[in-house]
A and B are shown apart, each in its own frame.
Chain A
Amino acid sequence: MSGKAKLHYFNGRGRMETIRWLLAAAGVEFEECFLETKDDLKKLRKEGSLLFQQLPMVEIDGMKMVQTRAILNYIAMKYNLYGKDLKERALIDMYVEGIIDLNELLMVYVFQPADKKEQHFANMVDKATNRYFPVYEKVLKDHGQDFLVGNQFSRADVQLLETLLMAEECKPDILAKFPLLQSFKARISNIPTIKKFLQPGSQRKPPTDEKDVPKVMNIFY
């Protein structure tokens, strides 16, 4: 038995990607078990491995953890990526929840029906550039530090980087008006564990392609 964390999901980003990012940023090696068919999901459910019959599921420290936020909270705490006290945690949580909301919009784009795609895209870009990015740009501007919270690397930085990159995949110049986010992006990308994760051959997953959508839908629905 390897003792490494083991991730159960389909071979794509979805709700597991942020977990991969956080583990990788923390320098934690992990294994992955990919679901390919609905039967794979049925098997996990039948085994009683999924508390609420859902994925993601991560085997870690003797637990079969489910619920994305629960898993992220655990990893962040365990590897000291969650601030030094209750107040820093509060800030990190607020920032992270905003990032998760934006990330969700970006994530579900590829699954939208054709007639809804254009509107969804416009909404995504509007929210990114008018609601979310200005907040993080201002945070960095106000304290002038390298990291979002407490002058120390935290999950907020990891999750923001992940989302900035996803947003750029949707619209390459989306950071045009945010110089501090641009330098943040470069700076955090250069952290050794993250730099490694960003290189080809890592466990980072590519964006879900339109042609993969039916396969994913079939596993889960």
Chain B
Amino acid sequence: MAGKPKLHYTKGRGRMESIRWLLAAAGVEFEEEFIEKKEDLEKLWSDGSLLFQQVPMVEIDGMKMVQTRAILSYIAGKYNLYGKDLKERAWIDMYVEGTTDLMGMIMHLALHSGDTKEKHLALIIERATNRYFPVYEKALKDHGHDYLVGNKLSWADIHLLEAILMAEECKPGILSAFPLLQAFKGRISNVPTIKKFLQPGSQRKPPPDDKYIANVRKIFNF
């Protein structure tokens, strides 16, 4: 038995990607078991491995954890990426919920097509530029530190970097009005564990393509 966390999901980003990022940033090695066809999901169901019949599921520390936020909170808590006290946790939570909302929008983009896709993309760009990025730019400006909360690397920084890179995939140059976020991106990308995760051959997954989406729709029936 490896003792490493084991991730159960499809071979793509989806809701598992933030978990991969956080484990990687924490320097935690993990294994992955990919759901490639409906039978794989059905087996997890019949094994009783999925508390609410859903993935992501992560086997970690003797638990079969489900629910993305529960898993992320556990990892952040365990690896000291959740601030030093209640107030820092509050700020990390607020920031992470914002980036979760933004990344959720980007995740759904792949499910749209044609006109609605264009509209949705425009909304993502608008929200990123007017609602979300200004908040993080201001946070960095106000305290002048390298990290979002408590002058120390936390889940909030890792999550923001992930969101920034996803947003740039939607629109290169989306950070043009945000100099501090650009510097932040450069800085956090250079944290050794994160730098490693950003290199080819890591467990980071590529953006979804049509083939992946078609397969996901088939497996999960939507």
Give me the interface of A with B, judged by CB distance under 8 Å.
51-53, 61, 63, 65-70, 73-74, 77-78, 86-87, 89-90, 93-94, 96-98, 101, 131-132, 135
Interface residues on B, range: 20 to 34
**Smallest CB separation, B58 vs chain A (Å):** 11
**Smallest CB separation, A97 vs chain B (Å):** 4
Interface membership of chain B positions 92-135, coded 1 if the CB is closer than 8 angstroms to chain A and 0 otherwise:
01101110010000000000000000000000000000011001
CA distance A69 to B89 in the complex (A): 12
CA distance A15 to B52 in the complex (A): 22
Quick one: closest A residue to B132, CB to CB?
A: A52
Instruction: Tell me which of A69, A94, A96, A131 contacts B93 (CB under 8 A).
Output: A69
CA distance A131 to B197 in the complex (A): 36
**Smallest CB separation, A46 vs chain B (Å):** 14
Offer 21 A-B interface pairs, CB within 8 angstroms, sorted by A: A52-B131, A67-B93, A67-B97, A67-B98, A69-B93, A70-B93, A74-B89, A77-B86, A86-B77, A87-B63, A89-B73, A89-B74, A89-B77, A90-B74, A93-B70, A94-B65, A96-B70, A97-B68, A98-B67, A101-B52, A131-B53
CA distance A74 to B85 in the complex (A): 11
Q: Cβ of B152 < 8 Å from any Cβ of A?
A: no
**Which residues from chain A contact B143 at a C-beta distance below 8 Å?**
none
**Smallest CB separation, B178 vs chain A (Å):** 16
Instruction: Tell me which of A51, A70, A97 contacts B70 (CB under 8 A).
Output: A97
Asked if B89 and A73 make an inter-chain contact with CB atoms under 8 angstroms apart, the answer reads yes
Q: Cβ of B177 < 8 Å from any Cβ of A?
A: no
Q: Cβ of B78 < 8 Å from any Cβ of A?
A: yes
Which residue among A52, A63, A89, A135 has the maximum number of chain B CB atoms within 10 Å of its CB? A52
Q: Cβ of B213 < 8 Å from any Cβ of A?
A: no
Give me the interface of B with A, judged by CB distance under 8 Å.
51-53, 61, 63, 65-70, 73-74, 77-78, 86-87, 89-90, 93-94, 96-98, 101, 131-132, 135
Asked if A90 and B63 make an inter-chain contact with CB atoms under 8 angstroms apart, the answer reads yes
Quick one: closest B residue to A60, CB to CB?
A: B90
Instruction: Tell me which of B52, B61, B131 contacts A132 (CB under 8 A).
Output: B52
CA distance A61 to B87 in the complex (A): 9
Provided the pairs A67-B97, A90-B70, A94-B65 are in contact, do residues A51 and B135 lie with their beta carbons within 8 angstroms? yes
Asked if A63 and B52 make an inter-chain contact with CB atoms under 8 angstroms apart, the answer reads no
Asked if B86 and A78 make an inter-chain contact with CB atoms under 8 angstroms apart, the answer reads yes
Nearest first, the 6 A-B pairs at minimum CB distance are: A93-B70, A70-B93, A97-B67, A67-B97, A70-B94, A94-B70
Asked if B78 and A74 make an inter-chain contact with CB atoms under 8 angstroms apart, the answer reads no
**Smallest CB separation, A218 vs chain B (Å):** 20
Beyond contacts A52-B135, A94-B66: 7 other A-B pairs, Cβ-Cβ < 8 A, are: A52-B98, A52-B132, A67-B94, A67-B97, A67-B98, A77-B86, A131-B53
CA distance A70 to B66 in the complex (A): 19
**Smallest CB separation, A123 vs chain B (Å):** 12
**Which residues from chain A contact B70 at a C-beta distance below 8 Å?**
90, 93-94, 96-97
CA distance A74 to B70 in the complex (A): 15
Which residue among A65, A66, A73 has the maximum number of chain B CB atoms within 10 Å of its CB? A73
CA distance A131 to B54 in the complex (A): 10
**Which residues from chain A contact B135 at a C-beta distance below 8 Å?**
51-52
Asked if A98 and B51 make an inter-chain contact with CB atoms under 8 angstroms apart, the answer reads yes
Asked if A69 and B69 make an inter-chain contact with CB atoms under 8 angstroms apart, the answer reads yes
**Which residues from chain A contact B94 at a C-beta distance below 8 Å?**
51, 65-67, 70
CA distance A68 to B97 in the complex (A): 9
Instruction: Tell me which of A51, A61, A87, A98 contacts B52 (CB under 8 A).
Output: A98
